[in-house]
Amino acid sequence: MSDSTRRLGAGRYIDAARVPDTTVTSVHELATADGSKVSGVLRTVPGARTVVTLMHPRQDLTHHVLVPELLARGYAVWTQGTRSVNNDTALVHEQALLDAAAGQVFLRERDFDHVVSLGHSGGGTLFAFYHQQAGLPPAQRLTATPAGRPIDLAAAEMPVPDAAVFMAPHPGQGALLLRLIDPSVVDEADPLAADPALDPFAPANGFAEPPQSSGYAPEFVSRYRAAQRERVARIDEIARHRVGEAAAARRRYKSGGQSADRRAALAPRILTVYRTDADLRFTDLSLSPNQRPYGSLFGRRPDLTNYGLVGFGRFSTPDAWLSTWSGLSTNADFLRCAPGVTSPALFIELTGDQACFPEDAEAMYTALGATDKKHVQVAGTHFGGPVQEGAPTGASLAAAEIVAWLTARFT
């Protein structure tokens, strides 16, 4: 792309097209059905009758690489955050649905001809979850979070988007963490404690010095994945115990308890989850082979980043853990929600993805309930970068596919 700017980073920041000079930008604050506030940015260009909405449960997508790509092709773009944007410690996905609904109501009121949801990465499962719940009669929608907190989705206006685009969607925050979490942790209070028999970065288990690809035996892979589920189940148990403690304190206070009970009910009891950058596929490229580079979403040395501060699900309330990060408890799971996506759907698989692997893409696409659906592959990495130096970015290739698909339906 001739009109592009370079952003520096380890795979996340890539070349982006320029926003057209004719773009009109406005910022909006919206009220959700449960009284929260969320904000979004609407960008329009002359003649735009279809608006594409980008949203992610945790991240601010105001400057997402697809924004200028879509504007340059004549589409309006709405980027919106949740109430937990850039701070997912208390992220509850059921509440994020109310945030998404506020945006969808706002866009319908703007009188666009068509509203299209576009979910990239974790935004894919968020929108799949939204489509599923929005498509149900209100009385059949969820009434509680996995932690047992009431959620009134029935009372919310939840317009169903006219189409759904999924770009490199991973299978959900919880499903993703289930494959990333390091099962060799033997003490949740000790970031270094490890069971050598499950250590993914031990040469005895097949690890090779980077950037050489490791080679894990099938038996180790099976034990490792089973142990990952066991660790998540153990953390679930801790989370549910802490939820139960807070609930008991609330009951005591409401029954005439002391101020100490009220404080106990309010105390967040934050979970710290160490070592969550340890999918074996990050270092063994023979597992689920595709065109991905060596390393994880966070860097080229998962044997180091696994022990660092940055990582998925590192800090969360018990409620947020059960709703968002537990692959065993969350409602926000792409495969579970996909049958409820009945609007026309485009699924874009990036051939160098490090979070949505080929077998994931096939299963997720197959699970979509839409009769009008299409699965395409474009060369790119998870965040839309090129698979090799000098190649077109995955974002630009995906944008071309998105526009061709939308043009065939909404002209």
In this predicted structure, what is the pLDDT of residue 16?
61
Q: Mark whether 192 and 165 lie in a shared domain.
A: no
The angle subtended at Cα 354 by Cα 307 and Cα 194, nearest 5°, is: 25
Q: Mark whether 25 and 96 lie in a shared domain.
A: yes
CB contact set of 40 (below 8 Å; sequence gap of 6+): 27, 28, 30, 78, 79, 80, 81, 103, 106
318 lies in some domain: no
Asked, as a colleague might, if the bond just before 57 is cis with ω within 30 of 0, I would say no
Q: Mark whether 74 and 213 lie in a shared domain.
A: no
Q: Mark whether 268 and 167 lie in a shared domain.
A: no
State the total domains in the chain: 2
The secondary structure of 128-186 as a DSSP string is HHHHHHHTS-GGGS--B-TTS-B---TTS--PPPSEEEEES--S-HHHHHHHHS-TT--
Beta-ladder partners of 115: 51
235-274 b/e (C-beta count within 10 Å ≥ 16 → b): bbeebbebbeebeebbebbeeeeeeebeebbeeeeebebb
From the number of C-beta atoms within 10 Å of its C-beta (0-12, 13-18, 19+), residue 30 rates as middle
Beta-ladder partners of 5: 16
d(CA 147, CA 93): 12
In this predicted structure, what is the pLDDT of residue 254?
87
Last residue of a domain, one of 277, 312, 347: 312
Question: Contact at 8 Å (CB) between 169 and 125?
Answer: yes
d(CA 70, CA 90): 32
Q: What CATH number should be reported for the domain holding residue 47?
A: 3.40.50.1820
Q: Mark whether 40 and 163 lie in a shared domain.
A: yes
Farthest CA pair distance, the chain: 69
Residue 397: what residue type?
L
Question: Contact at 8 Å (CB) between 145 and 92?
Answer: yes
DSSP conformational letter for 307: T
In this predicted structure, what is the pLDDT of residue 6?
34
Q: Mark whether 238 and 348 lie in a shared domain.
A: no
Paired tokens of 362 = 């096939």
Question: Contact at 8 Å (CB) between 395 and 65?
Answer: yes
Q: Mark whether 397 and 353 lie in a shared domain.
A: yes
335 lies in some domain: yes
pLDDT along the chain (411 residues), means of 10: 33 62 97 97 97 96 94 96 90 98 97 96 98 98 97 98 98 98 96 97 97 97 98 98 90 86 85 97 98 95 95 95 98 98 98 97 98 98 92 93 94 71
320 lies in some domain: no
Q: Mark whether 25 and 122 lie in a shared domain.
A: yes
Domain that holds residue 161: 4-172+330-409
Q: Mark whether 305 and 348 lie in a shared domain.
A: no
Strands (E), 237-330: 271-272, 315-316
Which residue has tokens 């980027």?
79
d(CA 94, CA 126): 9
Q: Mark whether 110 and 245 lie in a shared domain.
A: no
Q: Mark whether 100 and 72 lie in a shared domain.
A: yes
322 lies in some domain: no
80 lies in some domain: yes
In this predicted structure, what is the pLDDT of residue 2?
32
230 lies in some domain: yes
- The angle that helices 173-180 and 218-254 make with each other, rounded to 10 degrees, is 130
Q: Mark whether 161 and 220 lie in a shared domain.
A: no
